[in-house]
Amino acid sequence: MTAALPLPIQLVWLIPVYGFSGVLLSLPWATGWVKRNGPRPAVYLNLLVTLLAFGHGSLITLEIWKRGAQHLSFNWFSAADLHLSIGFDLSLTNLAALELVTLLSLLAQFFALGYLDKEWSLARFYALVGFFEGALSGLVLSSNLFMSYFLLEMLTLSTYLLVGFWYAQPLVVTAARDAFLTKRVGDVLLLMGVVALSALAGSMEFTDLYRWAAQAQDPSQGTGQLAPLAGSLIGLGLIAGPMGKCAQFPMHLWLDEAMEGPNPASILRNSVVVTSGALVLLKLMPLLRLSPMATTVLLVVGTISAIAGALVALAQVDLKRAFSYSTTSYLGLVFIAIALQQPAVALLLLLSHGLAKALLFMSVGSVIATTSCQDLTELGGLGNRMPATTSAFLVAAAGLVGLLPLGCYWCFGLGVQAIWQAHPLFAGVIVFTNLLTALNLTRVFRSVFLGAATPKTKRAPEVNWLMALPMVSLTVLVLLTPFLMARINPVPGIGAFSLPVAIAVAGSGLVGVGIGSLIRLDQFWSRSIQQPLRGIQDLLALDFYTDKIYRATIVAFVAGLARFTNAIDRQVVNGVVDGIGRLSLQSAENLKLSVSGQLQSYVLTVVIAIVVLLSSLTWIVGEAVR
Amino acid sequence: MTSSALMAFPWLSLLLAIPFLGTFALLLWPGEPSPGRLRGITIAVLSAQLVASLALLLVFDPGHAGMQLEEVHSWVPSIGLNYQLGVDGLSLPLVLINAALTLVAAICTRDFSKRPRIYFSMLLLISGAVNGAFLAENLLLFFLFYELELIPLWLLISIWGGSQRAYAATKFLIFTAVSGMLILGAFLGLALFTGTVDFSLTPITSERLAMGSQIVLLSALLVGFGIKLPLVPFHTWLPDAHTQASTPVSVLLAGVLLKLGTYGILRFGMGLFPEAWAQLAPGLAIWAAISVVYGSLAAIAQRDMKRMVAYSSVGHMGYVLLAGAAATPVALLGAEFQMVSHGLISALLFLLVGTVYRKTGTRDLDALRGLLNPERGLPFTGTLMIVGVMASAGMPGMVGFISEFLVFRGSLLAYPIATLLCMVGSALTAVYFLLLVNRAFFGRLAITPASDNPVEDSRLDIQLAPVAPRETLPALALALGVLALGLVPALLGHWSEATTTAMAQLPGLVALIPAGGVG
Amino acid sequence: MPVISADLTRQGGMPSATELERRLLAGETLLAESPDHVLEVVGVLESYGEVLDAYSRNLIYQAEQQFLNPFPIFKFLDGDLSPAKIWRHLNHDRINFEYAEYCMKAMLWHGTGGLDAYLDSQAFADLCAPIIQAKRRNDLLLTLLDPLFRQFLPELIRTAATTHALGQFWRVMSDLFIDLAAAERAGRVATIAQVVDVLKQGLVAAAAQPITYAVTIAQQSFPVLPPEAGLTFLADVAVPYVEAVFLRGMPFLGTVSFNAQAQQISPDQGQFAYGALFADPLPTMGAGIPPSLLMQDMYRHLPAALHDWYLQRSRGEGDVRVKICASFQKAMFCVTNAAIAGTFPHPAGSSDPQALGANQAYARAWASRLASARTDCLSAVS
């Protein structure tokens, strides 16, 4: 079968290798072996391999377009009944995701060349982005759960290293730690699910797992049926990984803190990383039938994330954080779509959100690069001076909000149309989230781009071409998103929703924009004097005190347990040992068997041990024989 | 040479002869050789040992499950002590690890101030004794080698250790002596009760024994090897021994000597008493889980980097016991992987902690900060440290992951709760090692506890001695090994799979493997 | 085994504001007199002079030849498009001109002094209008963007003007620093006091030098900073430069969080203390520390004597760029010292009590500002 396939498809295993090879190619500069010259060759090499990955991906897409989906598998490791393979599932959906990943990675890397132009550790940054991209591009093509888990963990590691890029900055230290640990908790729960599935179902290929899950659910199958508790636990384990990756409540904290990392990494993190997490969840969707509980949890988590994320975003004064919470919110909507068995809507939403959010973060990066400031209260009046940045923001906002006929408008329309009869509540969540997002984007736009210039925005020339070019390219791409969506999803067509639905979506967007334009901006920042309002403001601005809650519960619990164990270890376990030691030495003194030195005490111990041992042996064996 | 001639060559005796002859050569070397020359001779001997160990791969048949390259010579037949050697998939990787890590220990030795001749000869003696223990096919011979390794290690700690070395060395000695006695007692008991004086591994069967006696003997073995492993609550000698031992000794201790415990448990505990093993297995799984969680929690509370790594050993060696308790083919292969993986990773971590200590004079996590600083800090050490801790935390792409995955995958159906607890321990590993990296390597460079005044802190000037590139070579080699086995696990699985699969099919054990299904 | 030994860490003493004020008034140098200091300061200023020469040429080239170029891909090549130069550029075997742009941006962003005031004036706006007209004539994109974003092009012209002005400033400083090194080699300068004096003389001599800038579009010259604006070297460029780069500086992403909620960065730029005189040399070459670029450039132009001196200290070549940074900080204290000495409102030693009072107030203002800088580098022990 493999022999008949064209070369680009046979060489599909190269796709993740491109990104990973960027790591190796960057090493001479990242490690400082090249001392006299600067790190930029590493940048060019990484851009080159990313371009190769994109080009190779495009070739494969063309071939698959002609031949239909293909599946390639390479054996990685086998032992006894365990067979682990590297599998690629070359469907158009996966390839579209691959193209999204490589294209955004390319644009973000290009953007970073301008954003980090005075950064001496560029090579390390690009090595990490290469690692990131390698793991991501393998993940979206992965055809088996083991490889998906493998690469998800690598993503966790690369997120840690990217967030920790400015390792000397105090808040980065905690941010990198929290990002890793939060995701790691999700990953370990996922690992439990993966290990359980591997042991129970045997194969790790998604298609085999679907078959197994259907069987395990089938009541007519007497033997292979899975206990409901085990099914539920596995389901919960499986969704925990994507929950962590997609920054869903209550595992969303890391995304806020991860904003301490370099902006080009934030571009990728808020677009393709969360998307990859959701794609894994999509692949796991048929398995969730094992566990109705997991579906319920998905719905609850998605709803809370969507609404609370949007509300918390409203109260942020930090430019990056105002939008990172919105990522949590949109991924919440994706979770709802997946839980309600709407994979098409989920996919389209991931695509339009990914592109628009990447553009939004590019625009944000331009603002930060120009003003050295991310505080909304200190920004203003950039609109008439930064054409590329301003239009990027406007287009990205339009792409995110269901109002103008760009990406998310059609997604929301399809989503509401699909679920409003069976689940009106969740249709309401979509519409309400749209309203809140429109409100948030409008108020941020006003405070950054409109109004009078502030001291920090008084001199704000447009960013250099290295940042402007990818930003403008992506702006065009976001404007073209509806056409892309129409190509990907011809049936029933992206406009397949009724007029009332269209009015509801556009209306909610319009109301959001309206409120956002009318509110007094300062009421958001200055804390209100009225106690209840002030309480709500603080609650939202500080993200429901989630970090404090964590600190008081899980962190305190583990730390307490660790201290307790350590105390036991020192006082009790070691104390007993020391006591015995002292006693034996003392008795040695008393018996005048030994004068001094350790060898004597050794001999003594040996003698005592033999005596004790033999006597107890004879006694026990005697008992047993009798 | 023909292939049969190759097979007939006493390869295993060669593996004993090289280090032992090296020991004598060092001790009897005429005149007063300089420490550098002694180190050179040691490295040459150990390189030869490594080459000879690698040569085993050429003559070893990976498809064959039983003992290979056997050598049998009668020695003291009256007490059943025969010179009887053999190697199989369980011991082969450990022999390689022994050669590699002893070489690393010799290379990274930098303190020549005290009696270098004794030091290096003891190093060789340990390596030879460990090889003997891994290759012995006779219980008494194993015991001889097991005890032989004890005294040189005790000397290494008590002469070249830190300020509390007397306490730590004595503690180590007492614990290991008790361990030896228990093991000897069990071996003698087995002979006594079965009524034979043949201590060969192969003909011994415990079937004839009553289950009660089997359990007693197995328990003695478990405690004996459990001390060496070490399992909670017999572990307290380990953190003290590590904190007092010098870096090369820690590398040996963690990388090689702890494996004698796990090897002993699998080879003798499970191999000699499969029926009793099956009886005790549920308890062993729980014991393993307790050990893992206890070790991990205790590690979180440590402030001394070396103690933290030592406690991580307590946690990670527990996985081997869990896998042994489950005794499925995948789990036992996982146990083998875990032994190798822990050997490489803990050796790597001890090397790096040793470098940090040598350059900064402290291992206190409250004092160390910002060591990643590229010009004045230890950036390369920091990079390798990130590799090491991530490997230890089970990050895919490194050998720690595949080991843990195999152990968990093989054990889950047999002991779901214990396995899940061990996975929690794996998550806790990420916690303490991440804290280690974040505290010591992130932030602004300093080697004093942070004061209340960050402005004053930013005025500290630090002048650490640089790490020469060749000083990092052993750690780099280990890190590459960790990555290579993590990316291509077949490099290891190929040699061990036949043996571990056969071990899982020991008659008494088979009943243990559940038919499938949980809940 | 070792515990933390005293030689691993050290803290230099910091002179008080009173002490600094006394030194300034008495005409003593801020930096203590020592042969090592002379070697460090003169050596590092020599390499800085060579780097500034390249920076200055490039900034002037950018402002004149790459004016309003939307894709200035070859802006760092100074017009030399030979394959060898392009290869060196791609291989990053070059001066890091990004640092020069960084300093320009700092000046532009902090916006103090006469140049900045002129950029906001109506006179400047009147000069911009014909330039924009001329540019729009054959550029469709600008024709489209200018009416929509009225301040887009003026802001870029302001940037170009600042770029050019900084280029002119660095031209003078580069020559001064290289002359200083020549004077030291000739034996005319042997103490820190003489170093400061040479720098002061150089600054005073250039003080009134006019700063002008014009661009050529389609063979027609358009003034941007015309002579009539009366911008001069010392008051309108040098002082704002010292304010923006030596004193205020910009927060480094590698050491300061930009998180608005953490409020690590003051909302008032006047309170910033991230400049060269305040910087911590230790993280040099770490991630997110822009001056690393300058240290690398100076490293590549280090005089042999100073390089040898570095090789004998701490990690030798291993931490040479941290040592360059520390020496550079000392040199910048000397330059600041010279600038203060050259800008006293009244001549030193004046007997007029009013003049004395004015001088005292001037010295006090500087001393209080410098008191929290990294003055621990000033003592003779290193």
ipTM confidence score: 0.94
pLDDT digit string (tens) for A205-220?
999 999 998 888 776 6
Smallest Cβ distance to A199: which of B158, B412, B428? B412
For residues C256 and C357, membership in a common domain is answered with no
pLDDT band at B135 (very low <50, low <70, confident <90, very high): very high
- pTM, rounded to two decimals: 0.94
| Number of Cβ pairs < 8 A linking chain A and chain C | 148
The pLDDT of residue B162 is 84
| C62 close to A (CB below 8 A) | no
Angle at B106 between CA B102 and CA B109, to 5 degrees: 135
User: Tokens 């780097």 sit at which residue?
Assistant: C51
CB atoms B216 and A79 under 8 Å: no
For residues C356 and C335, membership in a common domain is answered with no
For residues C110 and C251, membership in a common domain is answered with yes
For residues C303 and C367, membership in a common domain is answered with no
Smallest Cβ distance to B448: which of C4, C286, C315? C4
* Other beta carbons less than 10 A from residue B24's beta carbon: 12
**Contact between residue C112 and residue C240 where contact means Cβ atoms under 8 Å apart:** yes
Nearest to C109 by CA among C270, C335, C339: C270
CB atoms A621 and B216 under 8 Å: yes
Structure tokens at B81: 């002590």
| B456 close to C (CB below 8 A) | yes
For residues C53 and C137, membership in a common domain is answered with yes
Structure tokens at C125: 């706006």
For residues C32 and C133, membership in a common domain is answered with yes
| A117 close to C (CB below 8 A) | yes
CB atoms A377 and C255 under 8 Å: no
Q: Choosing among A120, A448, A471, which should be mutated to test the C contact, i.e. which has the most C CBs within 10 A?
A: A120
Chain B residue numbers touching C286 (CB-CB < 8 A) = 372-375
Average pLDDT over residues C2-23: 68
* In the predicted structure, residue A222 carries a pLDDT above the cut 70: no
Chain A residue numbers touching B302 (CB-CB < 8 A) = 566
- From B193's Cα to the closest Cα of chain A, the distance in A is 9
CB atoms B362 and C3 under 8 Å: yes
Nearest CA in chain B to C375: B459
pLDDT band at A1 (very low <50, low <70, confident <90, very high): very low
For residues C276 and C316, membership in a common domain is answered with yes
Give dist(CA A500, CA A337) in Å, integer.
20
Q: Which residues contact B126 (CB under 8 A, 6 or more apart)?
A: B102, B149, B152, B153, B156, B252, B256, B257
User: Tokens 């047993």 sit at which residue?
Assistant: A624
- From A177's Cα to the closest Cα of chain B, the distance in A is 7
Q: Does residue B140 or residue A195 have the better pLDDT?
A: A195
CB atoms A188 and B424 under 8 Å: yes
Chain A residue numbers touching B193 (CB-CB < 8 A) = 621
Q: Which of residues 17-56 of A touch B (CB under 8 A)?
A: 31-32
Structure tokens at A278: 């959701």
Chain A residue numbers touching C142 (CB-CB < 8 A) = none
* In the predicted structure, residue B517 carries a pLDDT above the cut 60: no
Give dist(CA C362, CA C344) in Å, integer.
7
pLDDT digit string (tens) for A470-480?
999 999 999 99
| Average confidence score pLDDT of chain A | 88
Nearest CA in chain A to B393: A184
Q: Which domain holds residue C154?
A: 28-347
Give dist(CA C335, CA C190) in Å, integer.
16
pLDDT digit string (tens) for B280-310?
999 999 999 999 999 999 999 999 999 999 9
- From C327's Cα to the closest Cα of chain B, the distance in A is 14
Q: Which residues contact B185 (CB under 8 A, 6 or more apart)?
A: A610, A613, A614, A617, B220
- From B291's Cα to the closest Cα of chain A, the distance in A is 11
CB atoms B374 and C1 under 8 Å: no
Least confident of A521-530, B450-459, C44-53: A521-530
Angle at A188 between CA A185 and CA A193, to 5 degrees: 130
For residues C196 and C337, membership in a common domain is answered with yes
**Contact between residue B162 and residue B244 where contact means Cβ atoms under 8 Å apart:** yes
Size of chain C in residues: 382
Amino acid making up residue A416: V
Q: Which of residues 192-251 of C touch A (CB under 8 A)?
A: 250-251
CB atoms B497 and A79 under 8 Å: yes
For residues C277 and C311, membership in a common domain is answered with yes
For residues C69 and C152, membership in a common domain is answered with yes
| A526 close to C (CB below 8 A) | no
Chain A residue numbers touching B213 (CB-CB < 8 A) = 621, 624-625
Kindly write down the DSSP assignment for every residue of A274-328, as one continuous string: HHHHHHHHHHHGGGGGG-HHHHHHHHHHHHHHHHHHHHHHHT--BHHHHHHHHHH
For residues C284 and C363, membership in a common domain is answered with no
Smallest Cβ distance to A40: which of C92, C149, C254? C92
Nearest CA in chain B to C376: B459
Residues above pLDDT 90, as percent of chain A: 67
Helix (H, G, I), strand (E, B) or coil at B200: strand
pLDDT band at B173 (very low <50, low <70, confident <90, very high): confident
- From C235's Cα to the closest Cα of chain B, the distance in A is 32
The pLDDT of residue A600 is 53
Structural domain total, chain C: 2
Chain C residue numbers touching A168 (CB-CB < 8 A) = 254-255, 283, 286-288
Average pLDDT over residues C148-167: 95
In a domain, C265, yes or no: yes
For residues C64 and C183, membership in a common domain is answered with yes
Q: Which of residues 481-520 of A touch B (CB under 8 A)?
A: none
